[in-house]
Amino acid sequence: MTKLPDAEKLCEQLAAELRPRITPKTGMVGLYTGGAWLAERLHPMLGLKLPLGLMDIAFYRDDYAARGLHHDPKRTKIPFDVSGCELLLVDDVLYSGRTVRAAMNELFDYGRPASISLVVLAERGGRQLPICAQHVGARVEVPAGQRLRLKREDSGKLVLALEAERAE
């Protein structure tokens, strides 16, 4: 059984790592669902001036033709002008890189940020696109056929978990 890192500690660690680079132009966008939970944590810890943005990339996925539209997409809300912003794009787990590509495509339909940095709680192997994260909580080895996911308990506590990969 793989021992998974403590998500709460990783969150603290990421906040400490990000704090020195925060400026008045730093904006944060979390990706539904796990990335949004993480961003909802990091945003107040970092005291960002710009309000938090939350994004669902359902309309930008590259597997729409094969899998159709995801049920119950959330509404993307970015309550600030991304043009000229130093954006922190937050997700829970970096795996294939496809979600991040879709998120960048969507972000550019809101404006032209000055920069985008990727913040993830955990990264695993299996990249299918030339994408890497600038701020990583932990690197995790994930056994074949397993999926690494962030969960939020009823108490609000964030927990990393392994589960069987969904049949595609």
166 binds other proteins (CB under 8 A): no
59 binds other proteins (CB under 8 A): yes
- Closer CB to other proteins, residue 58 or residue 162? 58
Would you say 106 and 53 are in contact if contact means Cβ atoms under 8 Å apart? no
37 binds other proteins (CB under 8 A): no
Nearest distance, CB of residue 74 and other proteins, angstroms: 7
Nearest distance, CB of residue 71 and other proteins, angstroms: 6
Among 1-9, 35-43, 64-72, 123-131, the segment contacting other proteins (CB under 8 A): 64-72
- Closer CB to other proteins, residue 59 or residue 147? 59
88-127: which residues touch other proteins (CB under 8 A)? Answer: 105-106, 109-111
Among 72, 141, 154, 168, binds other proteins (CB under 8 A): 72
Torsion over CA: 73, 7, 166, 67 (sign):
positive
Q: What residues line the site for other proteins (CB under 8 A)?
A: 56, 58-60, 64-65, 67-69, 71-77, 105-106, 109-111
